[in-house]
A and B are shown apart, each in its own frame.
Chain A
């Protein structure tokens, strides 16, 4: 037995000494635990998380703007490069963008913006603006859900001061639970990192005054895309 195994046995042993379950109680406990771990069911979902698609998009937009996110809505994926370029211009930022090497984003037609210098890859400390693709949006709090993958590195949404995130409108769910159900359906188990992002980075740690851009992005722009077909 390793040290770790000994410590583990001691802790679990202490717990079992306290619980003192009868064999029948133990069987019930195991069945309940297995049910809750292997077949998790949603608890109460607030009414505001149960709207139709138009309602969800509207609520998502309102909630995200309430926490200082910028929300733009474009009709096609091919409009994303222009929207990204406009964002950089609006904030007097250089026309430079590091973009997640996601095939969909690579097919978005960044060449349509000749002034915009685009690099596909992960962000480093010199990048001022990063663009990635969200797995989903959650309307109830205006929250983005990002899933890490080889083609969607996580730091893109955290290292640069400006974070742009593409979100297909069809992927705006009402509640967190619905987004998770979709994740389980598509991916089975969670990727290394699932980031729920609600507005840009903030802190109140200096005299309880709200400041944006504490460590993560100072600005967050959500680009809602209605027709999410490449080409």
Chain B
């Protein structure tokens, strides 16, 4: 093909991996992700054949189901320059654990490694891969940011969301005492060990409230639903949103766990 044409090189073709929780519970995060990616020059598509990253099966020790689901994803996202998910947990599954799957199937294992290399979490993708340094968002609020475990420890997501939040006009961010401590969600953990999980999320809620912030942000819907659920039960006024909603300025949906304005 002749590359001498003068038309600007189109941005990368990104397959959005919506993640099941966003798909089912919080579509607005998906639309925020699309907006952020398109604003950064990407062409975004959402393959129909996607469902789940397989992490619940993987963490339950069910390798066969995990591999069946991941195989489906590898097929669904064939040919995209990047696969981007608005979740550190799902992206962590795809990026760091998929390469260890398919021990008995070298051909699929190789495809898996190639696929994993293209997978990214949304905010770190914007900053680290696309070089985004600021977004044109504005929000007069006082926020605090929770580092979800998989994003933090598997994907080293720490400064990227803070960098972009710093650029949001009007937004003040106060750190928790322990932003890196787990909120107690842990997928099936929270229903397997509800008492321990409750203790953990209660500690987290107290830490959040201690910041004086009125808005809690994070990059993973599982953790957000857990913290929102506990904050609501405590009668806390702190509102909860996915960081992508704030960065994209997509704030039409009510905060997580809140009713739509009557």
Q: Do chains A and B touch in the complex (CB under 8 A)?
A: no
B residues lining the A interface (CB < 8 Å): none
